[in-house]
């Protein structure tokens, strides 16, 4: 059974939404899960439902890879979920179908290329951070718990337990213990 999934980020993308639905129906998708939600921060409920719905031997069909996954890690996770259920993946615009040996090869090649690009990006990022540190421009993330040292110490002196202090200040319990040990 062919199961379709389509997604657009905003309600303003009606033409793209309708085009995806049309393309999925034209290849024979018997059921289509669709949603209008950004893939960046929002939970994709219909994608979750589609992955839950598919059964062994089915194929999940999408029009483009970016309609399915928000990142390489997300894409790998989705593919792993489908493979665990013996479900194929078909991506229409690049003509990849993992139910065929060639499709699986192409998917693995795409994954390898994406991983390679990600590693290159991380390498450039590390180089940029090293350069910024050498020029004393990189400060890193500000420690959140250490800014509350005086509050931690005063609350502890007032008889509060570390767990209560952590909850009240919104910091980790281990941070409270570390601050108290340093203050002692």
Q: Print burial letters for 56-87: b (CB count within 10 Å at least 16), e (below 16).
A: eebbbbbbebebbbeeeeebeebbeebeeeeb
The CA distance from 103 to 109, in Å, is 10
∠ CA 21-22-26, rounded to 5°: 120
DSSP string spanning 109-165? HHHHHHHHHHHHHHHHHHHHHHHHHHTT----PPPTTGGGHHHHHHHHHTT--HHHH
Has 112 been annotated as catalytic?
no
The CA distance from 43 to 39, in Å, is 7
Q: Pick the catalytic residue: 9, 26, 154, 174?
A: 9
Question: What is the edge-to-edge ordering of all strands in the sheet holding 31-36?
Answer: 31-36, 2-8, 59-62, 88-91, 96-97
Tell me if 172 sits within 8 A of 166, measured CB to CB.
yes
Catalytic positions are 9
């Amino acid at each position: 059974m062919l199961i379709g999934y389509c997604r657009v980020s905003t309600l303003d993308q009606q033409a793209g939404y309708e085009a995806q639905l049309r393309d999925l129906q034209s290849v024979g998708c018997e059921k289509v899960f669709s949603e209008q939600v950004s893939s960046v921060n929002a939970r994709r409920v219909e994608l979750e439902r589609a992955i839950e719905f598919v059964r062994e031997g089915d194929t999940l069909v999408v029009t483009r890879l970016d309609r399915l996954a928000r990142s390489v890690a997300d894409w790998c996770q989705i593919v792993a979920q489908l493979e665990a259920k013996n479900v194929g993946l078909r991506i229409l615009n690049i003509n990849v179908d993992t139910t065929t040996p060639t499709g699986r090869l192409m998917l693995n090649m795409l994954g390898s290329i994406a991983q390679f690009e990600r590693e290159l990006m991380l390498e450039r990022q590390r180089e940029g951070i090293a350069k910024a540190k050498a020029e004393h421009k990189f400060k890193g993330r500000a420690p959140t718990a250490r800014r509350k040292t005086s509050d931690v110490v005063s609350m502890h002196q007032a008889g509060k337990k570390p767990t209560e202090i952590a909850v009240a200040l919104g910091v980790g319990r281990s941070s409270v213990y570390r601050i108290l040990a340093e203050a002692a």
